[in-house]
Amino acid sequence: MKIAFLTSGGNAPCLNSSIGRLLSNFGKIDQDVCAIGYLNGFAGLLKGNSVSLDIEMTSQNFSPFYTTGGSFIGNSRVKLTNVLDCLDKNLVKEGQVPLEIAANQLIADKIDILFTIGGDDTNTTARDLRNYIQSKNIKITVVGIPKTIDNDIYPVKRSLGAHTAAGEGAKFFKNIVSENYMGERHLIIHEVMGRNSGWLTAYTANEYYNNLDKQKSITPDSVDSRRYDLHGIYVPERIININSEINRLAKMIDKIGCLNLFVCEGAFLDEISEEHKSNGNSIETDAFGHAKLDSINVAKWFSLSISKEIDFDRVLIQKSGYYSRSAAPNSDDLEYIFKVCDFAFKCALKSKSGLAGEDERTGELSCIDFDLIKGDKGLDTSSKWFLDLIDRIEC
């Protein structure tokens, strides 16, 4: 039996650990198993670039996989049905069909099982590859692992690595928040990753508050502990009247002397897009048609917008995204990763293709049909934990 792995999209705390757990499981079965990893996701598959993982297969110590963030085999953002993008990236030649090239590479490498570890874009691309393979009667099993710190894959209840990313973002802001003593009217904007879902922003804020009472308990009575609070949170799912919000924030800073705001990088996208259009510009998109959020800088846009009406003597913009998404998984996430990967291993042995994850419709681990996978599952702003969070922030 020969298995292959590829990791795709952005980094997340579950990539190496998912590979390690699956390798560990295959190492225990009574069969000859060899494994490879395609370098840089679907780009490596198209180019035939891979590395052997057989050394790790024979090792009983998988600690480096579980304690190191990112992916040892690398990622990329490649859509196999976007022929022009594949051409631009020199992954195929004129006239070649990327799906055919990818399928033929799997055949040439004699792969029996391919694991695709990534988010909705990765696993909808895995769907396209699986469908092509099936149409050609090729017997290769494709099993997806749900990875995204945005936690926005439908119908997956919980994406691997998302909880760790939120905890790391909260840890990041715990240090940053003390910067607001550097000025009398100080603004800190913490920009958190998230394309069309504010889940990570909100859950990071929730994790921050879970540990805030401890910090407040050691704060001297002479210090206004409200300087450690959050004073605003902005996610794509909530409609905010900016003028009304500026009025609220103006009153808040007059009382406290600082503002600590959490902004999702996908918030205010409509407003920013309109500004670009009025200036004769457009927002760049990636191979999947998503806005390139790095080029937008929503935190800077928001800080400039409110600075027109509120005087600040210092503005600090901080982004925790690359810090939090490259962390090793925490103990809770690692346990969940093991649970999902153990299930994915069983699906693979049964030659069942699909995305292995906890189906939010049933609450059970399932091999979800790739055709059902969609992205941009929004944050549930009616959930109790989120409403409690808003009450605490905006009281």
Distance, C-alpha 50 to centroid of its chain? 24
Structure tokens at 247: 């009025």
Say whether 217 sits in a helix, a strand or coil.
helix
Tell how strand 232-234 and strand 258-264 pair up: parallel
Identify the burial level of 96 via C-beta atoms within 10 angstroms of its C-beta, where 0-12 means exposed, 13-18 middle and 19 or more buried.
middle
**Helical spans, DSSP H, in the chain:** 15-27, 42-47, 54-57, 63-67, 83-88, 98-108, 120-135, 162-176, 199-217, 242-256, 269-278, 298-307, 321-325, 331-349, 384-394
Identify the burial level of 24 via C-beta atoms within 10 angstroms of its C-beta, where 0-12 means exposed, 13-18 middle and 19 or more buried.
buried
In eight-state DSSP terms, residue 162 is: H
Structure tokens at 55: 């050394």
391 a catalytic residue: no
Question: Active site residue: 150, 152, 229, 333, which one?
Answer: 150
**3-state helix vs strand vs coil in the chain, percent to 5:** 45, 15, 35
Instruction: Let me know: does 150 contact 12? Beta carbons within 8 Å.
Output: no
Q: Which residues contact 137 (CB under 8 A, 6 or more apart)?
A: none
Among all residues, which ones are annotated catalytic?
Answer: 150
